[in-house]
Amino acid sequence: MSATAIDTETPAATELTIRPPRRVEGFGRRELWEYRELLYFLTKRELQIRYKQSIFGVSWAVLQPLAYAFIFALFFGRLAKVPSEGIPYPVFALAGLVPWLFVAQSVSQSAESLVRDANLLTKVYFPRLVLPLSKVLSFLVDLVIALCVLALFVGIYDVSPSVGLAFLPLFLVLGVVTASAVGMALGALNVSYRDVILVVPLLIQLWLFMSPVIYSASLIHGAWQYLYAVNPMVSVIEGVRWGFLGTPAPPVGGVVVSVVAATVLLGAAVFYFRRTERYFADII
Amino acid sequence: MSDPAVYAEHVGKRYRLGELQASYRLLTETITQRMRSIGQPRATRPEFWALRDVDFEVPAGETFGIIGHNGAGKSTLLKILSRVTPPTTGEIRLRGRVGALLEVGSGFHQELTGRENIFLNGAILGMRRREIARKFDEIVEFAEVEEFIDTPVKRYSTGMYLRLAFGVAAHLEPEILIVDEVLSVGDLAFQEKCLGRMERVAGEGRTVLFVSHNLTAVRKLCPRSMLLSQGCKVLEGPTADVISEYVSSVQSEAATSLSGRKDREGTGRFRFQSVGFESAKGRIDMPVTGDGVDIVLAYESPDGRPIRNAIFAVGIYTLFGTLILQCQSDVAGTAFKTLPPRGEVRCRIPRLPLPAGRYTLNLFGTAAGDIADWVQRASELTVAEGDFFGSGQRLPEGHQSVLVEQEWFAPLNVEDEPIPALDRDLLR
């Protein structure tokens, strides 16, 4: 080690001032960007641990939606005969389950993320948003794998996709925003109130029934559609189905409602998170 | 350099009581409480200042020590400096890239390999990926885990784990380094290695804020230090002065009380009530190497009868549980035929042979041949550094467990040099 080993990659004149916090903090984007490598490594850690600890490894990302699709097809498709827009029910359910599982898993893991890494919070400084976001990003990898499987099943069932596929990224971003917002809000809430985590499974369960996973959104008509679309998952799932299965496109008005709802949700979640994060280390 | 690297002004941190332990609550509970207390003024919880109005500055390139008792506010100050928690008042300006080390192995995951953990931990400590990659070999070499670098760390021995964890941390190269008790883990050889590394870091012109109970380390590394007590700065200045103030200022607190201890054995003929230390100046809680110290044991017989044929023993152990020495009254030639039902016995050690560090004490007492009381880990003993040999020198870290007085002479076969008389006497 030479005496000149001080890092030359960073500018010499960095000055940092530590002060009592202000009442309102911004999003902290610049700082988040500075810590992008940490986000990368934490996401990688999630994936490594998830795949190392399960006997199925990466195929877990595939098996889970397939298992759900199978069960749903059996009970809701065969027995309850839920209408599926003329699409074979298994692939109809799978198209809903793939985005749904991404959001559900991201939210439940993010909600736990801060408390689970409590020792990090009390020992090291980094933007705390990195923790819930790393969970969401790790499930994004699962989502990509699951989407490939969906594409495969679309082929097997000989369903024809539509131009809606071009809008797929938009709907996925909407899903990521929704998952991140709900996940970080619940995560921060769980630091202060440790019983939040007990309610999360119930919340996710209810949310499942409020989203068109098992059934089609076309069951809801007229002005109700817009109220229904306040749940951004409605547009996300209908958007994915539109692209992959060629079902009718989600109404533009509904998508706008969803986008606005998700943005407001994200804003509120970030606001709450940033307000409470500075005291995480004191109360956790 | 004109501007200090660290400049702190009026730094304070207030906690509401209850925030320190189990501060999180249940949402359901909180909601019901709020509902009940509608219309009533909110109860204010009592406050507590963990840190109050602390000012200090550290010039660039200096290694600065922070010492104080547990609860003096050291950890709070470190947490504020490392931005883990915000201050309630005041301001700190840090010039240069900051790296904080409040723990080694932050974020280490058992399932991940050594290699994976190095990158993860490095990123957590704020290193860039390129930087970690560049130092990777050096870290592995420092940790001596070459063959196991692709093995999950759950298969590592404690020693390997610690070396790897410290290895990453030690290669953090910020301009301002903030270090907590990292050196208090691991065996002596490891501690020495860490200390050596720290010295080198300090020698590279970095600014280091160093907090430790290891006064030897503080003295060795830091020319200047600051003493905290009950959240306030008591003294700032040359380390030697600060340490002596620290050692003498703590004559305060009462001896460790043992009356609440339930995990004890023996007939209960008498019970140890407390254990404490005294020097010529009175009660102290940190004896000094090479100085005289009395270990004072207070005992009491529950039934109020005098105690016959008592034997007392004090065992001194390292924090790792190795017995270093035992003082025992009958072996030392003292017979306690009859003792009053309550009182004190003291064991006087004319020159404390223990090097600076932390120890634990076991207490043992018999009456008329039966074990009356036996308390393990009755108290912790922190020994402050002193000049045992009167030479102003000390043994290297890791090469001392007990100190013994000694004299040295040239070999006997040098004919023209007479052998000192004392030596012949000793050889006889």
Q: What is the mean pLDDT of residues A234-261?
A: 95
Helix axes A130-156, A232-245, angle to 10 degrees: 30
Q: Is it the case that residue B69 has pLDDT exceeding 80? A: no
Q: Is it the case that residue B28 has pLDDT exceeding 90? A: no
Q: What pLDDT score was predicted for residue B188?
A: 61
Picking from B249, B272, B296, the residue at the C-terminal end of a domain is: B249
Q: Is it the case that residue B29 has pLDDT exceeding 80? A: no
**Whether residues B266 and B245 fall in one domain:** no
Q: What is the mean pLDDT of residues A104-128?
A: 91
CATH code of the domain containing B340:
2.70.50.60
CA B117 centroid distance within chain? 28
User: How far apart, in Å, are the Cα atoms of B225 and each of A11, B45, B233, B252?
Assistant: 29, 35, 11, 22
Q: What pLDDT score was predicted for residue B359?
A: 85
CA A117 centroid distance within chain? 19
Inform me whether the C-beta atom of residue B126 falls under 8 Å from chain A C-beta atoms.
yes
Q: Could you give the angle at the alpha carbon of A220 between the alpha carbons of A215 and A222, nearest 5°? A: 160
Q: What is the pLDDT of residues B122-166, one digit of tens each?
A: 998 888 899 999 999 999 998 888 899 999 998 988 778 888 888
**Whether residues B193 and B293 fall in one domain:** no
- Total domains in the fold of chain B: 2
E strands, chain A, in order? 15-18
Range of the domain at B314: 256-383
**Whether residues B261 and B242 fall in one domain:** no
**Whether residues B266 and B141 fall in one domain:** no
Q: What pLDDT score was predicted for residue B233?
A: 92
B270 Cβ partners below 8 Å, 6+ apart? Answer: B299, B300, B301, B302, B307, B310, B341, B365, B367, B372, B373
Picking from B249, B264, B288, the residue at the C-terminal end of a domain is: B249
Residue labelled with tokens 């533009």: A252
End-to-end CA distance of chain B: 64
The answer to whether the Cβ–Cβ distance between A14 and B130 falls below 8 Å is no
CATH code of the domain containing B71:
3.40.50.300
The pairing of beta strand B224-229 with beta strand B63-68: parallel
Rounded Cα–Cα distance for residues B346 and B279 (Å) = 12
Q: Is it the case that residue B253 has pLDDT exceeding 50? A: no
Q: State the smallest CA–CA distance between residue A52 and chain B in angstroms.
A: 8
Q: What is the pLDDT of residues A23-55, one digit of tens each?
A: 767 778 888 888 999 999 999 999 988 887 766
Tokens representing B269? 């003929």
Q: Is it the case that residue B101 has pLDDT exceeding 90? A: no
The candidate with the shortest Cα–Cα distance to B237, out of B57, B2, B7, B1, is B57
Q: Is it the case that residue B337 has pLDDT exceeding 80? A: yes
**Whether residues B216 and B274 fall in one domain:** no
**Whether residues B361 and B213 fall in one domain:** no
Q: Is it the case that residue B200 has pLDDT exceeding 90? A: no
**Whether residues B140 and B279 fall in one domain:** no
Decide if A232 contacts A250 (C-beta within 8 A): no
Rounded Cα–Cα distance for residues B133 and B129 (Å) = 6
pLDDT band at B219 (very low <50, low <70, confident <90, very high): confident
Domain ranges of chain A: 29-283
Q: What is the pLDDT of residues B371-422, one digit of tens each?
A: 899 988 788 888 888 888 888 777 776 677 889 988 887 766 656 666 566 5
Nearest to B112 among A48, A117, A125 (CB): A48
pLDDT band at B309 (very low <50, low <70, confident <90, very high): very high
Rounded Cα–Cα distance for residues A5 and B193 (Å) = 20
Residue B412 lies in a domain: no
Residue B90 lies in a domain: yes
Decide if A62 contacts A146 (C-beta within 8 A): yes
Nearest CA in chain B to A4: B204
End-to-end CA distance of chain A: 39
The candidate with the shortest Cα–Cα distance to B356, out of B195, B160, B223, is B195
A264 Cβ partners below 8 Å, 6+ apart? Answer: none
**Whether residues B101 and B206 fall in one domain:** yes
Decide if A217 contacts A250 (C-beta within 8 A): yes
pLDDT band at B316 (very low <50, low <70, confident <90, very high): very high
**Whether residues B90 and B187 fall in one domain:** yes
Rounded Cα–Cα distance for residues B60 and B3 (Å) = 8
Nearest to B83 among A38, A49, A125 (CB): A125
Inform me whether the C-beta atom of residue B24 falls under 8 Å from chain A C-beta atoms.
yes
Residue B424 lies in a domain: no
B363 Cβ partners below 8 Å, 6+ apart? Answer: B258, B272, B275, B297, B312, B313, B314, B315, B373, B374, B375, B378
Q: Judge if pTM exceeds 0.90.
A: no
The pLDDT mean for chain A works out to: 88
Residue B105 lies in a domain: yes
Rounded Cα–Cα distance for residues B291 and B280 (Å) = 9
Query: Residue B186: what residue type?
Result: G
Q: Is it the case that residue A174 has pLDDT exceeding 60? A: yes
The answer to whether the Cβ–Cβ distance between B107 and A117 falls below 8 Å is yes
As for the ipTM of the complex, it is: 0.81
Rounded Cα–Cα distance for residues A128 and A273 (Å) = 9
Nearest CA in chain A to B92: A18
Q: Is it the case that residue A8 has pLDDT exceeding 50? A: no
Rounded Cα–Cα distance for residues A228 and A238 (Å) = 12
Inform me whether the C-beta atom of residue B173 falls under 8 Å from chain A C-beta atoms.
yes
Residue B24 phi, psi dihedral angles, 5° rounding: -75, 155
Q: Is it the case that residue A4 has pLDDT exceeding 50? A: no
Share of chain B above pLDDT 90, in %: 29
Q: Is it the case that residue B32 has pLDDT exceeding 70? A: yes
Query: How many C-beta atoms lie closer than 10 Å to residue B337's C-beta?
Result: 9
Residue B395 lies in a domain: no
- Strand, helix or coil at B196? helix
The candidate with the shortest Cα–Cα distance to B19, out of B58, B53, B46, is B46
Residue B244 lies in a domain: yes
The pairing of beta strand B342-349 with beta strand B293-300: antiparallel
Picking from B249, B274, B301, the residue at the C-terminal end of a domain is: B249
Nearest to A17 among B79, B93, B205 (CB): B93
The candidate with the shortest Cα–Cα distance to B384, out of B256, B293, B323, is B293
The pLDDT mean for chain B works out to: 82
The answer to whether the Cβ–Cβ distance between A45 and B85 falls below 8 Å is no
The answer to whether the Cβ–Cβ distance between B86 and A119 falls below 8 Å is no
**Whether residues B166 and B185 fall in one domain:** yes
Which residues of chain A have a CB within 8 Å of the CB of B211? Answer: none
**Whether residues B178 and B318 fall in one domain:** no
